Amino acid sequence: MGIVTKKLEHVEAHLNYATAGAGRRSVPIHNARAVVDQLSLEQQGFILRRHKTASTNFFDEAEVRAVYYPEVEQLLKETTGAARAVAFEHDVRSASKAERAAKGARQPVKIVHDDYTEKSAPERVRLYLPLEAEALLKERYAVINVWRPITGPVLDTPLAVCDAQSIAAADLIPTEEGVKHEVYLFDFNPNHRWYYFSAMTTSEVLLFKCFDSSKNSQARVTAHTAFDLPTMAAPVQARQSIEVRALVFFAGAGSIAGSA
């Protein structure tokens, strides 16, 4: 059963779909803070969690891998009930062009997409865990993105996520054009239900499922995109964020926890 969105605060914002000739669409994006306890990775595909970190410099790749990756892996095991989690890559992003140039950060992605597909998800398992891959691929696994503000609150270019239950298989457009591996772009669908968490802080993380190998899962992918808040007057602090992507493995065909 979907969340009743008509009672939620929302903003009207433009999102960029891949629909030929009509990709830029104005859609309501609902503030999910009022329904945070109704969300789950198994149904909507995303959840919000409070999370402390010992990392002090997310622009230091060595520190992120040594300190933050193990924290993310532990968070994912505790949250999902997974037997194992393996963080394998991350991106630091900034909405400031000057900061991107100075610190080597990437810009926020303002196109509706999902990072892994039926093709590229198992490729990640084979790439990062080659000796175990074939055995691991026989069991259920997922790719989960852990998205965190580096500075907060986030008042500029937040992240929107789409309720996985509102996505139809026909909406997905696999592509390898201009990217390092196959991803999904999306056709516009008026049934899509979009959410964001207003003014996220540095002690919060947004977890969303990029891929689930279980064909029985209600949430196999999570469409997401950065967007411009139309109600926010400039200037505000440019968004800085880090996203860590991890492979999450389950014993047998066990379900993913992660309800609030």
Task: Read off the pLDDT of residues 11-21 as tens digits, 9 standing for 90 and up.
Answer: 999 999 998 77
Q: Residue 67: inside a domain, yes or no? A: yes
pLDDT over 90 percentage in the chain = 81
Per-residue model confidence (pLDDT) at position 84 = 96
Residues 6+ positions from 137 with CB-CB distance below 8 Å: 122, 125, 126, 213
Domain-embedded: residue 16: no
Question: Quick check: is 42 in a domain?
Answer: yes
Does the CA dihedral 155-157-158-163 come out positive or negative?
positive
- What's the CATH code of the domain at 184? 2.60.120
Total residues belonging to the chain: 260
CA distances from 173 to 118, 124, 158 (A): 12, 20, 24
Q: Would you say residue 22 has pLDDT above 90?
A: no
pLDDT tier at 260, thresholds 50, 70, 90:
very low
Per-residue pLDDT, 189? 96
Q: How far is it, in rounded angstroms, from Cα 234 to Cα 203?
A: 24
Q: Is 5 within the bounds of a domain?
A: no
Q: Is the residue at 45 inside a domain?
A: yes
Q: Is residue 11 part of a domain?
A: no
- pLDDT band for 4, please (50, 70, 90 cuts): low
Summarised one tens digit per residue, pLDDT across range 50-106 is 999 999 999 999 999 999 999 999 999 999 999 999 999 999 999 988 889 998 899
Answer yes or no: is 13 within a domain: no
202, pLDDT greater than 90: yes
Task: Calculate what percentage of the chain has a pLDDT beyond 70.
Answer: 92
Domain with 150 in it: 30-249
Burial class (CB in 10 A: 0-12, 13-18, 19+), 186: buried
At residue 234, the pLDDT reads 60
Q: How many domains does the chain have?
A: 1
In a domain, 83, yes or no: yes
Would you state the pLDDT for residue 8?
A: 85
Q: Quick: pLDDT tens for 160-181.
A: 999 999 999 999 999 999 899 9
pTM value?
A: 0.94
